[in-house]
Chains A and B, each alone.
Chain A
Amino acid sequence: MRIHRLFFAAPLLVLAVVSTSFADPLPMATKRLEAIFGGGSPKSTEDLKEMQEHLRKLAEKVVPCTVNVRVGQAQGSGVIISKDGYILTAAHVISKPNLNAVIILHDGREVQGKTLGLNLNLDAGMMKIDTPGDYPFVDMGESSQLQEGQWCMATGHPGGYEVGRQPVVRFGRVLRPASSNTPSIKTDCTLVGGDSGGPLFDMHGSVIGINSRIDPALSNNIHVPVDTYRNTWDRLVRGQKWGSRLGAKPWVGMTRVDGDGQVEIESVTENGPAALAGIKKGDVILQFDGKDTPNWEALKILMESRGPGDTVKVMVKRGENKLEYDLKILENPGRMR
């Protein structure tokens, strides 16, 4: 029997998107092109030319949806993902909900907006344009579907907004898709200050990540996986701020019995959050944060929208009784590996 730890908070299910209209995905001209962009290498000039034709179209599609955002003295990038102006960006760009923001569109036009919610653990943030209008937008893709080596494009305003320079295009590959252990995407689309909050696209022009951070190696460009925005959409739109610090992982201190059905607790860590709340071995978790948890996947997604420091109501079934406990989520104290 395999044991899954409950403090893995990885998005594996994809929930319905709120957006009602969709941008058309950019189709691949040939199967060959699809194979290359999916993770292969070009072999000839002909391959490269096919890639290039697609890239030029892709740039035309995604550059107009890339914006520069200013919140207080901070400046970063963002991407419009709905006609009425919802913008995905990085948590560290917006810093707080409900702040006034200035958004500079790709053509230099300035519009007004407000910051919405943010998840500090993953560096996910959202904002919305208030100035009425129909804005060019792109779709959110699925970051859970990414493959090593698949090609991608990043845009943003490296170094901050420059008059007369459109959002800047970078082309590269996914070096490491997001996983439960490392909930971020790594690519070799090079990023630098000012790119924060800008989008990472797949070759259909759907957003798969949001630019977040770098380290010295040119290959270490880190993006927030887009699935987390979808999974925590309601909280972000409502303007909630949660999480403690970048990279912090939630810990509840219990393991479950492996299986596809209901979530049965296999053990609780002594003095861990679950134990302190009153949850016991053998309990079946019915609800988390007021929502039903018919299976493990549902629970994982709910846990992702809550971070260390949050206290949530957990309803369990013990024998014939239904009991409710306040569970205070802590930060995972040790490295998991």
Chain B
Amino acid sequence: MNTRTGLFTLVFAGLLSPFSLHAQETPPVTDQPATEKKDGASPVQTSAPPATTTSATVQPQVTKVRPKLAGPRRPPQSGVAFSRGSSEVRKAYSGVASKALDATVRIFNGKDRAALGTVIAADGLVLTKASEVHADIECELPDGTKTPAKVVGIIQEHDLALLRLDLSKAPGQLAFVSLYEGNTPAVGTLLASPNPDFEPAAVGVLSAAPRLVPKQAGRMGINLSQEIDGPARIEAVIPNGPAVRAKIAAGDIITSVQGVEVKSQVELKAQLQKYEPGDTVKVTVRRGDATLDFTVTLGGDAMFAEVLGRGANREEFQNRLGGDLSRRRVGFKSVIQHDTVLIPSDCGGPVVDLDGNVIGINIARAGRVASYAIPAGVIRAMLPDLIAGKFAPRSDVDQQLQKLAQVEDELLKKISALRNILSGEPDEEDESEKAKPVEAILPDDEKMKIESQISELETQLAKIRADLLQLESKKAGGAPTPTSTNM
């Protein structure tokens, strides 16, 4: 079965008939190329004076020699020229996006593309998405210069980080933008998210006014026995819920989550609260005399409202149709929702209105229909404290945390790549793989080899995550706290 041809009804808590639909609903999708032809911008370096500007009003002339990288994989939006995000439509935003595009930098964790950054001052202050940047942060400026950066501060409740670039080796002046002083514009406003990998910008419409998006704990889809203080014994499992899919059964006693021992229901709950719907965790259970390990992809609260036996966890599943989501995508104090299609590493860049005003900073790819941006006004209010160092990261623990998070990221990427091979998800860069069910071409022994590789990586992942949790609780001041914020 090629899962790509299945259509999914959109009832949220749905009782609906199953459906596999006629094939003409699913035409072949060919994506527009991620990179586009560069116009003939002059590669000549202007002899800009050294960075002495403190006058905020003068925008320095920046020579556009930004190198074209092979852009990251983008979810295909449409195979047709008349789609809402066609290059023709996006081109109309060139004038609107150009100024902010010059102030948008690429941020790398070592060699890995992590996020975009928004330059907000000529002396090298850059806003970005905190949970995507780890250690060895390097920024690539519009002129192609790569320069290291340090974290000035992180505001957890917004997942916002302020970086300072080391400009000692940067040849030119740095273009920057100011955050818009006005209110967030109305629903229906057209927005552009300037992006050097997708010039001039990804585009969309403002979908919903700023609001709080509460944090959500990950859920396994289980009911526990009555004794609160007793061991975490599973009384019942939600049909087709995360636990069931991982092959965990009623009667099992959960003894650890991600390598952290849980002796009671309370402790289990505390552990699960550290994760969000969509996270994958290693769960150890005792079944009779045996101790078994399972990998569970957590769901959200929604599944408990769904009709038993039907699409438990369907919301999470549907949200992932259409591309990767940011790891941290819930738990924001105030965000604008817009329908621009972003990928996780597009976060941290500016969002502009049709006057070029930076009305927000993209902070999460949150779902199939939603990207989130922190309103400019919210950031402006915090900026003085952020710059003054009131949110400075605590050095050693944070650095270790960042390093571990980076390792975690790498492992997740490897696992995801292997899973794609197994599931037959076509690699979009490889045309020949399209439409071929991998089941047919992947011999069993090859499959087993990949599965054992995955399992080994998952063991490493569990260990890293256990270390992360320990460090986090250390940072939070001793005992593990159920409410500690996720990185």
A74 & B15 in contact (Cβ 8 Å cutoff): yes
B367 & A215 in contact (Cβ 8 Å cutoff): no
B92 & A44 in contact (Cβ 8 Å cutoff): yes
Q: How far is the CB of A135 from chain B (nearest CB, A)?
A: 21
Number of contacting residues on B, CB 8 A?
72
Chain B residues near A51: list those with CB within 8 A.
190
A52 & B368 in contact (Cβ 8 Å cutoff): no
Chain A residues near B95: list those with CB within 8 A.
44-45
B188 & A59 in contact (Cβ 8 Å cutoff): yes
Task: Report the Cα distance A193→B299, complex, angstroms.
Answer: 14
B354 & A222 in contact (Cβ 8 Å cutoff): no
Q: How far is the CB of A184 from chain B (nearest CB, A)?
A: 7
Q: Give chain A interface residues in 19-65, CB to chain B under 8 Å.
A: 39, 41-45, 47-49, 51-52, 55-60, 63
Q: Give chain B interface residues in 156-206, CB to chain A under 8 Å.
A: 186-190, 204-206
Q: Does A149 contact B (CB under 8 A)?
A: yes
Q: Give chain B interface residues in 411-432, CB to chain A under 8 Å.
A: none
Task: Report the Cα distance A245→B83, complex, angstroms.
Answer: 30
A194 & B12 in contact (Cβ 8 Å cutoff): yes
Q: Does B370 contact A (CB under 8 A)?
A: yes
A55-B205, A173-B84, A192-B369 known; A246-B11 Cβ under 8 A: no
B11, B23, B96: which has the most chain A beta carbons within 10 Å? B11
- Chain B residue nearest to A195 (CB atoms) is B10
Query: Which one of B7, B92, B187, B369 contacts A190 once the chains associate, using CB atoms below 8 Å?
Result: B369
- Of B72-80, B230-238, B460-468, the one contacting chain A is B72-80
A191 & B4 in contact (Cβ 8 Å cutoff): no
- Chain A residue nearest to B24 (CB atoms) is A182
A76 & B11 in contact (Cβ 8 Å cutoff): yes
Task: Report the Cα distance A95→B95, complex, angstroms.
Answer: 49
Task: Report the Cα distance A95→B354, complex, angstroms.
Answer: 43
Q: Give chain B interface residues in 204-229, CB to chain A under 8 Å.
A: 204-209, 211-212
Q: Does B89 contact A (CB under 8 A)?
A: yes
Q: How far is the CB of B429 from chain A (nearest CB, A)?
A: 17
Task: Report the Cα distance A216→B423, complex, angstroms.
Answer: 14
Query: Which one of B24, B75, B207, B354 contacts A52 once the chains associate, using CB atoms below 8 Å?
Result: B354
B322 & A184 in contact (Cβ 8 Å cutoff): no
Q: Does B440 contact A (CB under 8 A)?
A: no
Residue interface bits B338-376, CB-to-A below 8 A is 1, else 0: 010100000000000010000000000001111000000
Q: Does B13 contact A (CB under 8 A)?
A: yes
Query: Which one of A48, A148, A193, A197 contacts B96 once the chains associate, using CB atoms below 8 Å?
Result: A48
Residue interface bits A169-184, CB-to-B below 8 A is 1, else 0: 1111101000001101
- Chain A residue nearest to B370 (CB atoms) is A158
Chain B residues near A188: list those with CB within 8 A.
77-78, 83-85
Q: Does A160 contact B (CB under 8 A)?
A: yes
A159 & B7 in contact (Cβ 8 Å cutoff): no
Q: Give chain B interface residues in 300-334, CB to chain A under 8 Å.
A: 302, 305-307, 314-315, 318-319, 321-323
Q: How far is the CB of A109 from chain B (nearest CB, A)?
A: 18
A73-B307, A222-B25 known; A196-B11 Cβ under 8 A: yes
Interface of A is mostly: loop
Q: How far is the CB of B8 from chain A (nearest CB, A)?
A: 6
Chain A residues near B88: list those with CB within 8 A.
41
Interface of B is mostly: loop
A56 & B187 in contact (Cβ 8 Å cutoff): yes
Task: Report the Cα distance A219→B77, complex, angstroms.
Answer: 5
Task: Report the Cα distance A210→B369, complex, angstroms.
Answer: 17
Task: Report the Cα distance A220→B78, complex, angstroms.
Answer: 8
Q: How far is the CB of A323 from chain B (nearest CB, A)?
A: 35
Query: Which one of A74, A123, A170 contacts B369 once the chains associate, using CB atoms below 8 Å?
Result: A170
- Chain A residue nearest to B305 (CB atoms) is A73
Task: Report the Cα distance A193→B320, complex, angstroms.
Answer: 11
Chain A residues near B76: list those with CB within 8 A.
217-219
A160 & B12 in contact (Cβ 8 Å cutoff): yes
Query: Which one of B3, B4, B96, B208 contacts A169 once the chains associate, using CB atoms below 8 Å?
Result: B208
Query: Which one of B8, B23, B96 contacts A214 once the chains associate, using CB atoms below 8 Å?
Result: B8
- Chain A residue nearest to B77 (CB atoms) is A218
Q: Give chain B interface residues in 5-45, CB to chain A under 8 Å.
A: 5-17, 19, 21-26, 29
Q: How far is the CB of A335 from chain B (nearest CB, A)?
A: 7
Chain A residues near B280: list those with CB within 8 A.
none
Task: Report the Cα distance A297→B84, complex, angstroms.
Answer: 34
Chain B residues near A175: list those with CB within 8 A.
78, 80, 82-83
Q: Does B271 contact A (CB under 8 A)?
A: no
B354 & A45 in contact (Cβ 8 Å cutoff): yes
Shortest 8 CB-CB contacts between residues of A and residues of B:
A149-B82, A196-B10, A59-B188, A92-B16, A194-B12, A56-B188, A219-B78, A171-B205
With A169-B208, A171-B188 known, 15 other A-B pairs at CB within 8 A are A55-B190, A59-B187, A74-B12, A92-B14, A92-B15, A95-B16, A151-B84, A169-B187, A172-B83, A188-B83, A190-B341, A215-B26, A218-B76, A219-B78, A335-B22
Chain A positions within 8 Å of B, measured between CB atoms, are 39, 41-45, 47-49, 51-52, 55-60, 63, 72-76, 90, 92-93, 95, 120, 123, 148-149, 151, 157-160, 162, 164-166, 168-173, 175, 181-182, 184, 186, 188-197, 211-220, 222, 245-247, 335, 337
**Complex A-B: 30 CB contacts under 8 Å:** A41-B86, A44-B95, A52-B189, A74-B307, A76-B12, A92-B9, A159-B302, A160-B315, A162-B211, A166-B208, A168-B369, A169-B208, A170-B339, A172-B83, A182-B22, A186-B25, A189-B84, A190-B369, A191-B10, A192-B10, A192-B315, A193-B10, A211-B10, A212-B10, A213-B10, A215-B4, A217-B322, A220-B26, A246-B21, A337-B24
